[in-house]
A = this chain, B = another copy of it.
Amino acid sequence: MKIAILGTGVVGQTHAEKLGALGHEVMMGTRNVDKVLSGKGPDQFGRPSFGEWYRHQTGIKLSLFNEAAAFGEFIIIATHGMITLEALELAGKENMKNKVLLDISNPLNFSKGMPPTLSVCNTDSLGEQIQRAFPESKVVKSLNTLNAYVQVTPEVVPGDHTIFMSGNDAEAKLKTKALLNSYGWKNENIIDLGDITTARGTEQLLPLWVRLLGVLHHGNFNIHVVQGNAPKR
């Protein structure tokens, strides 16, 4: 499948590598190709620059947001949540029409330091904002509740653990589920929470996630929803 990844950060890179390995045609989209290729590394987390990473990839295309969106039959939103809506405007409404927009981004505001706060929450969510701004696209919110490596390599966390999905379109959720399966997520660990308003629930998990990161000192963790029997009536 032709897959567009909007965003060139660690989330975009991680998905691009995995999707390339799975045999998909991948085009990453960015605001300024020259700028992203010439950025210097390593970054604050010790990761190489995008350009250095990209030189080691084969077959992953890189282009502007709008060209990537036009290329992709399936579009993954891997931008920083604070610029997601702006990036999607640049990607172009027509280029995303009738396509699945798998939104992994979280509206985390780091401008006031750590831990970040959410720039939208409680009575709205970024997932809903995207769906309202692009009504002819099919937004599915998923994978936003854990770090990029675990998103595409769930087996790095042992045993069963849960991934959530929110969206208005049943077919778009089926396509997303197939992608999740190809990453290694088992059907019994995928919980469809309902329509896109349920993204409020998963985006608001991030304030707990960042604090767990602080306690556990690494990002290779996830939550598992564990059920007992329903109470007798």
Contacts and interface: CB of A to CB of B under 8 A. Distances in A.
Nearest to A203: B207
Contacts of A222: 225-226
Contact of A226 (B149, B159, B191, B217): B159
Contacts of A117: 122-123
A113 interface: no
Contact of A207 (B46, B122, B229, B233): B122
A173 interface: no
Nearest to A125: B207
A227 B161 CA distance: 10
A203 to B, nearest CB: 9
Interface in A186-215: 191-194, 198, 200-202, 204-205, 207-212, 214-215
A158 B183 CA distance: 27
Contact of A149 (B210, B221, B231): B231
A193 B215 contact: yes
A225 B223 contact: yes
A214 B194 contact: yes
B231 A225 contact: no
Interface string A129-160: 00000000000000000000110000011111
A170 B226 CA distance: 29
A228 interface: yes
A121 interface: yes
Interface in A70-95: none
A212 B191 contact: yes
Nearest to A164: B208
Contacts of A204: 121, 204-205, 207-208
A59 B227 CA distance: 33
A224 B221 CA distance: 10
A179 to B, nearest CB: 21
Interface of A: 46, 117-118, 121-123, 149-150, 156-162, 164, 191-194, 198, 200-202, 204-205, 207-212, 214-231, 233
